[in-house]
């Protein structure tokens, strides 16, 4: 058993002596390193890439004194007294609902006294005559027929003005 210990100690000494030899350097290695650093510093630097050539643009003088100001309200017909909703008009009950949520369920009367029966989403039936308003786009009723109601809505035109758009409610077959 004692001889095994001797061999293990001998193997450990040999192994550590080999590692120590690789770590240490001799004083003669330093001049080689210094010479290599001097050689690298003495090399000329690689040439730089040339700057890209700037493209020449044709000059343009912007003279827009005679053109319309793009930020003006010149194309709007809002100031021209054209169509527009009346902000002072009292809103009617059926104007709080979108037009597609209203259903015509029948009519009462005949001739010039014809009245349409329109049911709202609240399941209440309302009487509608020409001149009444329906829907959320200022839709004014122009005529009542036995099979439907014709109206004209005011919608924004996108340029600050208003356009009239025809619309209708039809009597649905139950």
- Could you read off the pLDDT of 96-118 as tens digits, one per residue? 999 999 999 999 998 888 999 99
- Rounded Cα gap, residues 9 and 137, in angstroms: 102
Structure tokens at 72: 């003006």
Residue 57 corresponds to which tokens in the numbers above?
A: 């643009």
Tell me the pTM: 0.53
The stretch 131-146 carries a mean pLDDT of 93
User: Which of 55-69, 74-88, 134-148 has the lowest average pLDDT?
Assistant: 74-88
pLDDT on residue 87: 87
Question: Residue 148's pLDDT is what?
Answer: 92
């Amino acid at each position: 058993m004692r001889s095994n210990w001797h061999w293990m100690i001998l193997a450990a000494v040999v192994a550590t002596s080999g590692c120590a030899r690789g770590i240490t350097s001799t004083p003669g290695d330093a001049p080689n390193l210094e010479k290599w650093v001097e050689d690298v510093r003495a090399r000329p630097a690689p040439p730089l890439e040339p700057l890209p050539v700037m493209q020449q643009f044709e000059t343009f003088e912007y003279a827009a004194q005679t053109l319309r100001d793009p930020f003006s309200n010149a194309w709007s017909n809002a100031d021209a007294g054209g169509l527009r909703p009346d902000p002072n008009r009292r809103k009617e009950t059926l104007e709080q609902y979108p037009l597609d949520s209203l259903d015509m369920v029948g009519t009462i009367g005949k001739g010039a006294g014809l009245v349409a029966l329109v049911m709202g989403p609240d399941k209440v039936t309302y009487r509608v005559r020409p001149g009444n308003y329906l829907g959320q786009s200022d839709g004014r009723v122009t005529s009542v027929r036995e099979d439907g109601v014709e109206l004209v809505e005011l919608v924004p035109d996108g340029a600050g003005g208003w356009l009239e758009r025809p619309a209708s409610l039809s009597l649905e077959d139950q």
